[in-house]
A and B are shown apart, each in its own frame.
Chain A
Amino acid sequence: MKGARVAEPAVRSPDAFAALYDEHFPAIYNYVASRLGRDVADDVAADTFVIALRKHGGYDPERGPVRPWLFGIATRLVAQHRRQETRRYRALARVGREEITDSHENRVINWVRAEGLQPRLAAALAALPRGQRDVLLLSAVAEFSHEEIAQALGISYGTVGSRLSRARQKVRSALGEDNDG
């Protein structure tokens, strides 16, 4: 991890920050849109970078790698929209993807829906405590390592592991229940 830190450039000038924005905006957007939907993601993803620049004065390599730092800010913003997030999962559970997806040409081919698993999966996500959901979605959607999740959320490596295994267990048992029934 030390090596990765050294490689990170100092990003304090506006120009360099614009480059950082260009590089990381799509991934932040994808993460936020996955949790809150596209409409809300437009604002929340943009706010993530405004806050990163304004409140934190840009990126400082001393803070650690840039990606966990940005996703940490995004996760805290997502937390302010908890009701929206729960609504999204409930809607996914109830109506499936077809109804809440706006654009046919952009829709990602979705085998979860095809297999009829989405109601159980979405309901399980909605039921997770926030701490476990943050860890699970940083791992599943942002494809973060344990180390990166720990940095993003400011929690210990061990906590990441225990939250992740508990969250996964709940998701699996939710899927299993429905398979039996």
Chain B
Amino acid sequence: MDDERMIRSLLQEAPPSAEVVAEGRRRLYAAPPRRSRWRVPGLGVAGLGLAAAATAAVFAVTTSGPPPAPVRTTPARPMSARQVLLAAAEKAASEPVGRYWHTHVISGQAYHVAKGDYVIDGARHEIDQWTARSAEDDDVFRSRFAGAIPQTAADRAAWRRAGSPKAWRVLSNGQYIRQTAAAEPWDLVRMTPAEKRGYEKLVARARKQCAGHPRGCPQQELTQAQREALADDPAALRQRLLTTSGKGGPGNVLTQAGDFLAQPGSPKLDAAVFRVLADTPGIRNAGSVTDLRGRAAIALTARSSDATGTFDTQLLLQPGTYRVLGTQTVLVARGRGPETAGMKPGTVYAEQLFLEMGWTDSAPR
């Protein structure tokens, strides 16, 4: 018998809760380091707290007489990222398919306004589109620039103190650009079955021409059939999510997965994407957050750092249904450079929020 396996099994405890992980990380950068509440008396450590004394009392009871009822104050632990993702895979697999794949997404980016010191959510582009499953139905594509808005309630208050301006000069890639609060009118594009066939022919011809000359040709998107084939090939699906994500890393995989899930696909394919994420290391459940639309979301999170700062990339899922609410990148700590100048930790640096994502049987006429 394997005695080491027995010992491991005997002593095994549940993994740390998201709160414990977050608290430990917070303590790393909290100064000065907080004294442990659990020092054993007699080691000369000042600041033995009441908690330690209380615990000692509890265990003093334990050592004499029968064991008391367990003393527990820990609330129910949230699910791990893996548990969330496996649940999401299960839900996705049972989603009914409809006539159109409908997505309505608003993407935006944070800009710091120096005059008044607040953050606006700018470059807000809104796309509302219906992609027909059948080649014999129209595709509909509506889009507009939605106008910039102050990001949080605190930003809104600072914006009002600054005189509620309707336009801003903000830094973008080292240059000043103008952002305005005014929304553009919607632009509507409709593709008829004939136009769709014409487009397919164009793409096919381009593929043929590119076949011999890979350089100078744009990277080809997967066809619907190629995408669906990935549902049965987790290794290839993982590879796809990694290779399309540039530098790689779990943060990029989360964003890629969000984009991938926003494309029309079978429930089976969506479930496969969630399962690949469940097996991707470095993703944790950061618990419940509120997105910029005020919606509660489970935030599956991966942290990454570069010269511009430390960021949490998050895939936002609706609690209970595990539908994709969007992806966002949250500033954790500023680095060098003008990109994050003036922004506080917690600022949503960039986001892509889905107001709608799923199959439907109707599209605008």
Contacts and interface: CB of A to CB of B under 8 A. Distances in A.
Interface in A15-30: 15-19, 21-23, 25-26, 29-30
A117 B33 CA distance: 41
A161 to B, nearest CB: 15
**Dominant secondary structure of chain B at its interface with chain A:** mixed
A18 B24 CA distance: 10
A112 B5 CA distance: 9
A141 B11 contact: yes
Given A53-B28, A106-B14, A22 B7 contact: no
A contacts with B: majority SS:
helix
Nearest to A47: B36
A104 to B, nearest CB: 10
Contacts of B284: 22
Interface stretch (A62-70, A89-97, A146-154): A89-97
Contacts, number: 161
Given A25-B21, A42-B23, A140 B8 contact: yes
Contacts of A47: 33, 36
Contacts of B303: 18-19, 22
B74 A45 contact: no
A150 to B, nearest CB: 17
A163 B39 CA distance: 28
B41 to A, nearest CB: 10
B13 A33 contact: yes
Contacts of A118: 10
Contact of B24 (A25, A90, A137): A25
Contacts of A43: 36-38
B202 interface: no
Given A45-B24, A175-B3, A102 B10 contact: no
A148 to B, nearest CB: 14
Contacts of A82: 40
Interface string B29-44: 1000100111110010
Interface string A123-157: 00100000000001101110100000000000000
Nearest to A29: B16
Contacts of A106: 14, 77
Given A15-B305, A46-B27, A171-B3, A103 B10 contact: no
Given A49-B28, A50-B33, A171-B3, A84 B77 contact: no
Contact of A125 (B7, B13, B55, B70): B7
Given A15-B310, A19-B303, A87-B59, A34 B28 contact: no
A35 B67 CA distance: 19
A81 interface: yes
Contacts of B239: none
Contacts of A26: 15-16, 21
Contacts of B33: 47, 50, 54
17 contacts: A18-B25, A26-B16, A33-B13, A38-B13, A39-B74, A41-B13, A42-B20, A42-B24, A87-B62, A106-B77, A110-B10, A113-B10, A117-B10, A118-B10, A122-B10, A140-B5, A175-B1
Given A15-B333, A49-B24, A106-B77, 7 more contacts: A13-B305, A23-B282, A34-B11, A39-B55, A40-B38, A99-B67, A143-B8
